[in-house]
Amino acid sequence: MNLELSEEQEAVRRLAKDFVAREIAPHVVAWDRAENVDRSIVKKLGSVGFLGLTVPEEYGGSGGDHLTYCLVTEELGRGDSSVRGIVSVSLGLVAKTIAARGDEEQKRHWLPRLTAGEAIGCFGLTEPGTGSDAGNLTTRAVRDGDDYVINGSKMFITNGTWADVVLLFARTNDTPGHRGISAFLVPTDTPGLGRRTIHGKLGLRGQATAEVVLEDVRVPASALMGPEGKGFSIAMSALAKGRMSVAAGCVGIAQAALDAAVGYAAEREQFGKSIASYQLVQELISDIAVDVDAARLLTWRVADLVDRGEDFATAASKAKLFASEAAVRAANNALQVFGGYGYIDEYPVGKLLRDARVMTLYEGTSQIQKLIIGRALTGVSAF
Ligand SMILES: Cc1cc2nc3c(=O)[nH]c(=O)nc-3n(C[C@H](O)[C@H](O)[C@H](O)COP(=O)(O)OP(=O)(O)OC[C@H]3O[C@@H](n4cnc5c(N)ncnc54)[C@H](O)[C@@H]3O)c2cc1C
């Protein structure tokens, strides 16, 4: 793997840095306090091409490779994880899955709008009773003539209240476990689909996280993605790539923690000297720096494997596991460098820590990543 970025990759990275400086950084504290990112950011992300990365241009995408996608995701994560999450879900989990597994009509209908930021996607797998054990979900889709009628509820759905379409996973037959699960593209304005915002999150406060309830939601059979009973494999391949995107966002958090800690340590004086001169402060900073480099390299390796068409799922679990734990450590170390000021939201590191904390939980907890890695190494499944 060549670690030197191409001119094009450097250019997109600069574009992302400028975008974050102009459109995100000035608003981060206000959005966090208001628990609401300004929705106009979605159109802006679409216009600059960030919602179409890796999606073929014939469907409105902006093409590009997965390393470029990771570079943009890292920069967005450095700016605001709430905004990064909009892209990771609407593009990473929904649009990319439609591009990979949808039929021609589904691609033509959804991709141009999703990549332009004219529509937003959300990913409906988790339910109140099934998180890690997603293969036992209970939402049900029953065939009725040319339609399916869906009943059930979905929990913790990122973009949930904003989304125009939900990539929804529901059980279509009584086969126990994941074999009875199918995937559907359900427009959120379909009668019977209700959404409730989940308030009081520790982090990602600006993000529209929701519970989605489905009561006799009727969709045509053309809403089915892929064959009946193959929905779980669609969900798992979406999440494997999604873990690369979460890992890249975590690199961004860790990098932001490093930048903030270095900057503050240089300015702050105690005992008549810059705190940067104290070796114990340097230890905190160097620990963050090593975490940033290691997390970034693991993440780039996944992008490289994806772009070369190699197996990447285990590498993605390793990157997500390490980068998410590293982001929490990095933000916590940076907060320590800031002392009491780190605890106040006028300074960035408290938010970095709050936002980082969910990364070890969603798209598979750290424990689940370890089980996936362990299964790949031993050939024995714990699930
Ligand atoms: C802010 C936020 C956004 C989210 N966005 C989405 C979204 O867009 N779409 C979506 O579908 N979901 C989403 N989720 C859900 C997320 O993926 C789940 O929360 C996650 O998969 C964990 O499920 P759970 O919360 O039910 O925890 P549980 O599965 O109940 O786990 C609880 C604890 O038990 C541990 N555990 C469980 N099983 C095992 C095992 N076999 N071995 C060892 N330990 C185990 C877990 O690691 C964890 O520590 C989101 C969650 C949050 C908080």
For residue 214, the CA-to-ligand 1 centroid distance in Å is 21
186-240 pLDDT per residue, tens: 999 999 999 999 999 999 999 999 999 999 999 999 999 999 999 999 999 999 9
pLDDT band at 247 (very low <50, low <70, confident <90, very high): very high
d(CA 290, CA 265): 17
d(CA 171, CA 175): 9
Burial class of residue 112 (count of CB atoms within 10 Å of its CB; 0-12, 13-18, 19+): middle
d(CA 296, CA 247): 8
pLDDT band at 177 (very low <50, low <70, confident <90, very high): confident
- Closest atom of ligand 1 to CA, residue 158: 8
Q: H helices within 268-278, ranges in order?
A: none
Report the pLDDT averaged over residues 167-183. 93
Which residue's alpha carbon is at the smallest distance from atom 32 of ligand 1? Answer: 132
Pairing of strands 209-220, 193-197: antiparallel
Q: Is the pLDDT of residue 118 over 90?
A: yes
For residue 107, the CA-to-ligand 1 centroid distance in Å is 29
The pTM (predicted TM-score) of the whole model is: 0.97
In whole angstroms, how large is the CA radius of gyration of the chain? Answer: 21
Q: Is the pLDDT of residue 382 over 90?
A: no
Report the pLDDT averaged over residues 75-100. 98
Report the pLDDT averaged over residues 309-330. 98
Q: Which residue type occupies 98?
A: I
Which residue's alpha carbon is at the smallest distance from atom 23 of ligand 1? Answer: 131
Q: Is the pLDDT of residue 174 over 90?
A: no
Q: Higher model confidence: residue 165 or residue 176?
A: 165
Q: Which SS3 state, helix, strand or coil, does residue 65 take?
A: coil
Q: Which residue type occupies 141?
A: A
**Active-site residue, selected from the candidate residues 23, 74, 325, 363:** 363
33-63 pLDDT per residue, tens: 999 999 999 999 999 999 999 999 999 999 9
The number of CA neighbours under 13 Å toward the Cβ of 131 is 11
Kindly list the protein residues whose Cβ atom lies closer than 6 A to any atom of ligand 1: 89, 122-126, 131-132, 156-158, 201, 204, 209, 358, 361-363, 365, 367-368, 371
Note whether 209 and 163 are within 8 A (CB): no
- Closest atom of ligand 1 to CA, residue 383: 41
pLDDT band at 338 (very low <50, low <70, confident <90, very high): very high
d(CA 11, CA 31): 28
Q: Give the domains, in start order, of the chain with CATH numbers.
A: 7-119 (1.10.540.10), 123-229 (2.40.110.10), 233-378 (1.20.140.10)
For residue 34, the CA-to-ligand 1 centroid distance in Å is 26
Q: H helices within the chain, ranges in order?
A: 7-19, 28-34, 40-47, 66-79, 81-87, 96-101, 104-116, 231-267, 279-307, 313-338, 349-357, 366-378
Q: Which residue type occupies 39?
A: R
pLDDT band at 361 (very low <50, low <70, confident <90, very high): very high
For the chain, how are helix, strand and coil distributed in percent, rounded to 5? 60, 15, 25
Pocket test for ligand 1, best of 91, 127, 132 (most atoms within 8 A of CB): 132
280-313 pLDDT per residue, tens: 999 999 999 999 999 999 999 999 999 999 999 9
- Closest atom of ligand 1 to CA, residue 382: 41
Q: Is 127 a catalytic residue?
A: no
CA-wise closest residue to 165 among 148, 187, 183, 144: 187
pLDDT band at 326 (very low <50, low <70, confident <90, very high): very high
Pocket test for ligand 1, best of 125, 320, 362 (most atoms within 8 A of CB): 362
d(CA 306, CA 191): 39
Which residue's alpha carbon is at the smallest distance from atom 6 of ligand 1? Answer: 157
Q: Is the pLDDT of residue 159 over 90?
A: yes
For residue 371, the CA-to-ligand 1 centroid distance in Å is 14
Which of 18-22, 69-73, 345-349 is the least confident region? 345-349
Burial class of residue 158 (count of CB atoms within 10 Å of its CB; 0-12, 13-18, 19+): buried
CA distances from 121 to 91, 187, 196, 314 (A): 8, 9, 16, 26
pLDDT band at 1 (very low <50, low <70, confident <90, very high): confident
What's the pLDDT at 196? 97
- Closest atom of ligand 1 to CA, residue 368: 47
For residue 131, the CA-to-ligand 1 centroid distance in Å is 4
- Closest atom of ligand 1 to CA, residue 122: 8
Q: What is the percent of the chain where pLDDT is above 90?
A: 97
What's the pLDDT at 383? 79
Which residue's alpha carbon is at the smallest distance from atom 31 of ligand 1? Answer: 132
The tokens 């998410």 sit on which residue? 324
Q: What is the percent of the chain where pLDDT is above 70?
A: 100
Which residue's alpha carbon is at the smallest distance from atom 29 of ligand 1? Answer: 132
